[in-house]
Every structure is written in structure tokens, then in C-alpha cells.
A = this chain, B = another copy of it.
Amino acid sequence: MIARPDALPGARAAACLTQFQQRPPLIHCLTNEVVQSLTANVLLALGASPAMVVEPQEAAQFSALADGLLINVGTLNALRAESMRAAVAAANQAGKPWTLDPVAVGALSYRTAFAKQLLDEKPAAIRGNASEIMALSGLLASGRGVDSGDDSLAALPAARELAQRSGAVVAVTGAVDYVTDGQRDWAIEGGSPLMTRVVGTGCALSAVVAAFCALPGDRLDNAATACRVMSHCGGLAARQAGGPGSFTPAFLDALYQLRGEDL
């Protein structure tokens, strides 16, 4: 059995959020076609500035200007892969942190090969579900498909291994989220099953992780705070929503109204 990590202390999360709101970052999002609007709106609700710049030369130019970069392989194709490689190289050259969301890695071949190559490019953080993190870590030969059938706690050893190998903070998310730097772990509870009935909540979380990784300070705490912010506001919104339709406006409002002391 895997021992369950401690919960991220509320005071740590509150301090990170306050710091975030004092100097909200500009985040370059190379993400999938389906979730771009929600991703941008989540970052905007938190006070951050999102931008999606897709032409390869411009993607590189912009990644050097932005405070952080998100790479999400959900609708990867050859054109987008070229832009992503250029953006990651430019971010690394400029010393800007980048975050990987390995959507459906393990289940689909092209993106799996691409994501594994990117692991050598020093991601600051990786955020995925249990199947994706297991597939990326190589602890399992392949994932189980697009939806994650694995409990996130069961994937924590794979997450730790992946963190040690890549140097990234790794968040494996599900009913409970776990964030690890390979040595230390935090657990984050909250959220709502309703979040799985709204497209892009996981992808938007990865963007928020990318944004919090632009903060100075302990990257483990910063990434865990991103998870906490989303699960806290998701739980709040679910309690007032009649379904996934009314969830989304309530969720964005909750992110907009959130203050450090709420955590």
C-alpha cells in the first residue's frame, strides 16, 4: 500500500495565491483546439494574461517574452508539434518555465513519442491523470486510454519516478490530486465529479500550473497551490450548480473572487 501524503497546508496555498495576484503572469498556451477558450478564461479570471501564438517563429519569439509556457498535446499534429518544439527551445533559452500536459499519452502513438522526446527538454512541471503519468514514466508499457481508469494514488510512485528523471514537479490528478518533486509530496482534496462533465477542466488546470510555476519560491508548493485553487473553486461552483452548464459560469466567478484567506 502507498502511504497517503499530507495535505498542502492552507497557509502555504494562501501565501502562493497572494503572491500570484500581486504580479499575475503572462502565459503562452500551446494547447488543444477544444479547450482554448476555457483555458484562456480560467487564466483571465485569476488575473493572469493568456496568449496563444501558433506560428513557429512567432511561438518562439513569444515564449521568450512570456512568463511561462504550456504545452498540451490533445490535438497534436505535425504543424503544432513544430511550433511546440520551437516554443520550448526558446523558453529554455530565456530561462522561462514550461509545463507539459500529456493528454492521452500511452493510448495514442504519435503524441506518446512526441511527449517522451520533450521530457529531455527540462519541463518545470507535468500535469496528467494516472494513466498518462504512468505511461509517461515508463513504469507501465502503455496507458489505458483517454479516460483514466487508475486511481491517482496508485500512480504516485510513477509520478515520483518521473519527477526524479525529468527534474519536473509532477501532478497526478483525479478525485484527489498528488503533487511531487520526487522527494516530497502533497495531497490536494476537494473538487467535484461534475468537473469531469465539463470539457477542459483538466487542461485548464495545467495552464494554471504553468502560471503558478512562473512564481519564484518553492515550485512544489506553487504547483500544488494551482491544484488547490482549482479544486477549491470547483467544489464551490459544484455546490451551487444544477449541472455542468451552470457549473462553468459559477466556476469562473469563483476563481475571480478567490482571495488567499479563502484557502
Write the A17-29 contact mask toward B (1 if CB under 8 angstroms, else 0): 0000000001000
Q: Check: A89 CB closer than 8 A to any chain B CB.
A: no
Contacts of A254 in B (CB 8 A): 243, 245
Contacts of A107 in B (CB 8 A): 62, 65
Contact A146/B197 with A41-B244, A109-B57, A110-B58 known, Cβ cut-off 8 Å? no
Chain A residues 194 to 215 lying within 8 A of chain B, measured CB to CB, are 196-200
CB distance from A149 to the nearest CB of B (A): 12
Interface-lining segment among A69-77, A94-102, A126-134: A69-77
Interface-lining segment among A32-40, A156-164, A168-176, A178-186: A32-40
Q: Check: A123 CB closer than 8 A to any chain B CB.
A: no
Chain A residues 215 to 237 lying within 8 A of chain B, measured CB to CB, are none
Measured CA separation A47–B199 after assembly (Å): 12
> A58 touching B26 by the CB < 8 A rule?
no
Binding site for B on A (CB under 8 A): 26, 32-38, 40-41, 44-45, 47, 49-55, 57-58, 61-62, 65, 74-79, 104, 107-111, 145-147, 196-200, 241-246, 248-257
- Residue of A37, A50, A241 most packed against chain B (CB within 10 A): A37
Measured CA separation A52–B37 after assembly (Å): 16
With CB as the reference atom, state the residue of chain B lying closest to A114. B55
> A199 touching B75 by the CB < 8 A rule?
no
CB distance from A140 to the nearest CB of B (A): 17
Measured CA separation A146–B50 after assembly (Å): 9
Contacts of A50 in B (CB 8 A): 199
Contacts of A52 in B (CB 8 A): 32-34, 74-75
Measured CA separation A146–B65 after assembly (Å): 10
> B256 touching A197 by the CB < 8 A rule?
yes
Contacts of A245 in B (CB 8 A): 41, 45, 248-256
CB distance from A63 to the nearest CB of B (A): 11
With CB as the reference atom, state the residue of chain B lying closest to A53. B108
- Residue of A35, A53, A78, A110 most packed against chain B (CB within 10 A): A53
Contact A37/B38 with A77-B55, A245-B45 known, Cβ cut-off 8 Å? yes
In the complex, 24 of the A-B residue pairs with CB atoms within 8 angstroms, ordered by the A residue number, are: A26-B147, A33-B33, A33-B36, A34-B52, A35-B37, A37-B199, A40-B199, A40-B200, A41-B198, A45-B197, A45-B244, A47-B197, A52-B74, A53-B75, A55-B77, A55-B110, A57-B110, A58-B76, A61-B108, A62-B107, A241-B253, A244-B252, A245-B251, A245-B252
